[in-house]
Amino acid sequence: MNILDNDRYLADIRKALDTVYDPELDQSISELDFVKGISINQGRVCVTLGLPTYWCSPNFAFIMMEDIDQALSSLPWVKQVRVILDDHESSTRLNAGIAEHKTFPEIFSESPGDLEKLRRTFAEKAFYARQKYIVDLLTRDGLNVADWIPGNWKELKRHLTTSREGQQLWDRYYLLAQKLGIASGDHDPAITGTSGKAVTGEMWERHFHQLRLITLNMESNAHICRGLLRVRYQPEGRSPLVSLPLVDQS
């Protein structure tokens, strides 16, 4: 691995990390500044994760660590991935478990929980939040959403992909719809519940109220997490938290 290619490798890693989301907040770990360090040595990549508090939920931490491992392992030049959770009450168990590719119940046999159900719950909340941002953009662009809904995916794509912001919202919404198994063909309804049932005009006011509540809750939690992270890693007089530079010892 040529040290001159460091910038390309680092760009690959950062792009992969952009796809890893805090499950509760629906924001990437890059956006949230959870990535404390990145290092690489002959195809072996190590990412260090720092969360807002020492007591952040272990199941949320596991989800992010597992997703990091999978995202980086998909890069063709990566030979080995190590994910390190720094300064957390379950660091030792999580770091060892992720390295051995154990499941959450294998790591925490005393409180296994249903991680897939949890993932689904937060994915559904994220779907509604992403839908809210789309509705807001359509409204700003002059569309009477109450009259347009449920619309269809072809129409929605035409409305959104004329701007960079709209394209990004489209990509995120469409991807999550597919992940949740919501029909997303050209003529399928675009504004739906997480079951895929179309939102009709008589349902709209109640549905939009739900979108607002879910989005407000997620944004509030994200604001709190950012504040806690700054207090934890950026005490007065210290430099801001930044990702460490790529290190290649080849």
What dotted CATH number matches 3-113?
A: 3.30.300.130
Whether 247 has a pLDDT exceeding 50, the answer reads no
| Strand-strand pairing, 80-85 and 21-22 | unpaired
Do 9 and 77 touch, CB atoms closer than 8 A?
Answer: yes
Whether 239 has a pLDDT exceeding 60, the answer reads no
Which tokens hold the place of 144? 């009477």
Residues constituting the chain: 250
pTM comes to: 0.88
Whether 110 has a pLDDT exceeding 90, the answer reads no
Question: What are the pLDDT digits (tens) for 119-166?
Answer: 999 999 999 999 999 999 999 999 999 999 999 999 999 999 999 999
pLDDT band per the 50, 70, 90 thresholds, residue 201: very high
- Amino acid 114: pLDDT: 84
> Across the strands, what pairs with 26?
none
User: How does DSSP assign the chain, residue by residue?
Assistant: --GGGHHHHHHHHHHHHTT-EETTTTEETTTTT-EEEEEEETTEEEEEE--SSTT--HHHHHHHHHHHHHHHHTSTT--EEEEEE-S-TTHHHHHHHHHTT--HHHH-TTS---HHHHHHHHHHHHHHHHHHHHHHHHHHTT--HHHHTT-BHHHHHHHHTTSHHHHHHHHHHHHHHHHTT---STTSBSSB-TT-PBPPGGGHHHHHHHHHHHHHHHHHHHHHHHHHHHHHH--TTSPPP-PPPP----
Q: Mean per-residue pLDDT for 103-111?
A: 90
Listed residue (37, 61, 56) closest to 47, CA to CA: 37
Q: Mean per-residue pLDDT for 196-216?
A: 96
| Strand-strand pairing, 27-28 and 35-41 | unpaired
How deeply is 1 buried, as exposed, middle or buried, from its count of CB atoms within 10 A (0-12, 13-18, 19+)?
A: middle
Question: What are the pLDDT digits (tens) for 45-101?
Answer: 999 999 999 999 999 999 999 999 999 999 999 999 999 999 999 999 999 999 999
- Amino acid 3: pLDDT: 45
- Amino acid 139: pLDDT: 97
pLDDT band per the 50, 70, 90 thresholds, residue 242: very low
Question: What are the pLDDT digits (tens) for 4-41?
Answer: 457 789 999 999 999 999 999 999 999 999 999 999 99
Do 149 and 229 touch, CB atoms closer than 8 A?
Answer: no
Higher pLDDT, 248 or 173: 173
Q: Mean per-residue pLDDT for 181-208?
A: 97
Cα(81)–Cα(13) distance, integer angstroms = 11
Whether 243 has a pLDDT exceeding 50, the answer reads no
- Amino acid 240: pLDDT: 40
Do 83 and 49 touch, CB atoms closer than 8 A?
Answer: yes
Cα(114)–Cα(199) distance, integer angstroms = 30
Q: Give the type of residue at 203.
A: M
Q: Boundaries of CATH 3.30.300.130 in the chain?
A: 3-113
- Amino acid 113: pLDDT: 72
CB neighbour list of residue 205: distance below 8 Å, 6 or more residues apart: none
- Amino acid 235: pLDDT: 52
- Amino acid 112: pLDDT: 66
Whether 237 has a pLDDT exceeding 50, the answer reads no
